[in-house]
């Protein structure tokens, strides 16, 4: 099933209310987004130039600390859609449970997909996918283990959509411009809280980067995304302060949910996954207070929550969890 968080329409259809009535905790998006800069008129009225796209890539290369080639795309999802077409369809292995679009897009493109529970089980695949840190259980894999894995598969795809707050997990610093067996996917919208901007990046070697650029077309990202992305990626102070705040808020969320009787499965500083005993009942209880959470078709007991963005949101969640 290709179910996702952010499905507030489903919450409203089932439980009523209007979008403004709901506290949507079903995604892992920073609820306090990067402050939007004033955009030049040409960002809206003109096609992006090659120089502007190159400047965005330079900002991403500096922010991620990499020597790899950079391909900007309309979100990490766009990279997930392109990856199955980089090589002829063969045997793919995906470390699961994880974000379901990886396996789904590979299957749709004709790949034979095996879902694996351990990193070692991915070895020998024509294409292997690892999400690091993982969504939804927060499993983490050291860069040494992933680099070693990359030598035993045809192509290793590492989805680092939730890696901004934990840069030491990233393979970015280990990639060079001639890497040809590893593709790293980065999301911009999650950490920067601007998912609607639809901006993400691929870090890889020049040969694969050229193929992905051709598939992405001449204008893979919008003028506003280029301008905002370049500014935000260059703001080291905001990134450092935000990572620290997210860590504090994740610990605060854990304290609330453990006090409510749930136990932590894992997560990142943008979302937390808990063992509830009955996930559907737990989500319904929250939804009756117009709070929407994420549950999973493969686990009857796991629930995932994003972070409230303000004190009224925190109070509302605490009240619904009956934690005073």
239-278 residue pLDDT tens:
999 999 999 999 999 999 999 999 999 999 999 999 999 9
What is this structure's pTM? 0.96
Q: pLDDT at position 178, please?
A: 84
Going by pLDDT thresholds of 50, 70 and 90, the confidence category of residue 294 is very high
**Residue 28: pLDDT over 80:** yes
Pairwise CA distance, residues 318 & 253, whole Å: 9
Q: pLDDT at position 179, please?
A: 86
What pLDDT, in 10s, does the model give residues 154-189? Answer: 999 999 999 999 999 999 999 988 888 999 999 999
Q: What is the largest CA-CA distance in the chain?
A: 56
**Residue 303: pLDDT over 80:** yes
- Mean pLDDT value across residues 223-245: 98
**Residue 140: pLDDT over 90:** yes
- Mean pLDDT value across residues 66-86: 97
User: Residue 149 in contact with residue 119, Cβ under 8 Å?
Assistant: yes
Going by pLDDT thresholds of 50, 70 and 90, the confidence category of residue 4 is confident
**DSSP state for residue 120 in the 8-state scheme:** G
Of 213, 151, 160, nearest to 184 by C-alpha is 160
What are the chain's domains?
Answer: 8-33+237-320 (3.90.1150.10), 41-234 (3.40.640.10)
- Mean pLDDT value across residues 3-28: 94
**Residue 323: pLDDT over 80:** no
Q: pLDDT at position 317, please?
A: 97
Q: pLDDT at position 2, please?
A: 79
Sheet containing strand 294-296, edge to edge, reads 263-268, 271-275, 299-306, 294-296
Pairwise CA distance, residues 199 & 74, whole Å: 5
Task: Point out which residues pair with 156 in neighbouring strands.
Answer: 128, 182
Pairwise CA distance, residues 208 & 133, whole Å: 24
User: Residue 140 in contact with residue 133, Cβ under 8 Å?
Assistant: yes
Q: pLDDT at position 1, please?
A: 59
Three-state secondary structure call for residue 122: helix
Interior angle at CA 255, CA 250 and CA 261, nearest 5 = 125
The count of C-alpha atoms lying within 13 angstroms of the C-alpha of 244, restricted to the half-sphere facing its C-beta, is 6
Angle separating helix axes 236-259 and 311-320, nearest 10 degrees: 20
């Amino acid at each position: 099933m290709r179910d996702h968080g952010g499905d507030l329409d489903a919450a409203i259809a089932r439980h009523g209310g209007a979008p403004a009535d709901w506290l949507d905790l079903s995604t892992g998006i920073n609820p306090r987004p990067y402050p939007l800069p004033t955009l030049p008129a040409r960002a809206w009225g003109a096609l992006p130039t090659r120089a502007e796209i190159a400047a965005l890539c330079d900002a991403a290369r500096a922010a991620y600390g990499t020597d790899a080639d950079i391909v900007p795309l309309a979100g990490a999802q766009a990279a997930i859609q392109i990856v199955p077409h980089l090589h002829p369809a063969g045997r793919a292995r995906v470390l699961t449970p994880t974000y379901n679009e990886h396996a789904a897009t590979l299957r749709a493109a004709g790949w034979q997909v095996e879902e694996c529970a351990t990193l070692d089980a991915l070895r020998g695949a024509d294409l292997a996918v690892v999400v690091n840190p993982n969504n939804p259980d927060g499993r983490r894999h050291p860069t040494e283990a992933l680099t070693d894995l990359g030598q035993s598969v045809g192509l290793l795809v590492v989805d680092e959509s939730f890696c901004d707050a934990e840069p030491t997990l990233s393979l970015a610093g280990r990639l060079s411009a001639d890497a040809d067996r590893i593709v790293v996917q980065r999301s911009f919208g999650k950490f920067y809280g601007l998912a609607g901007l639809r901006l993400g990046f691929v870090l890889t070697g020049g040969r694969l980067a050229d193929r992905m650029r051709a598939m992405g077309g001449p204008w893979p990202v919008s003028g506003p995304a280029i301008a905002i992305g370049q500014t935000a990626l260059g703001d080291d102070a905001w990134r450092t302060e935000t990572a620290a705040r997210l860590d504090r808020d994740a610990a605060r969320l854990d304290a609330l949910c453990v006090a409510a009787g749930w136990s932590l499965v894992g997560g990142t500083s943008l979302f937390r996954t808990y063992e509830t005993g009955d996930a559907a009942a737990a989500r319904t209880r929250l939804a009756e207070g117009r709070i929407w959470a994420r549950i999973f078709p493969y686990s009857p007991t796991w629930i995932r929550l994003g972070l409230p963005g303000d004190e009224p949101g925190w109070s509302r969640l605490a009240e619904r969890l009956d934690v005073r």
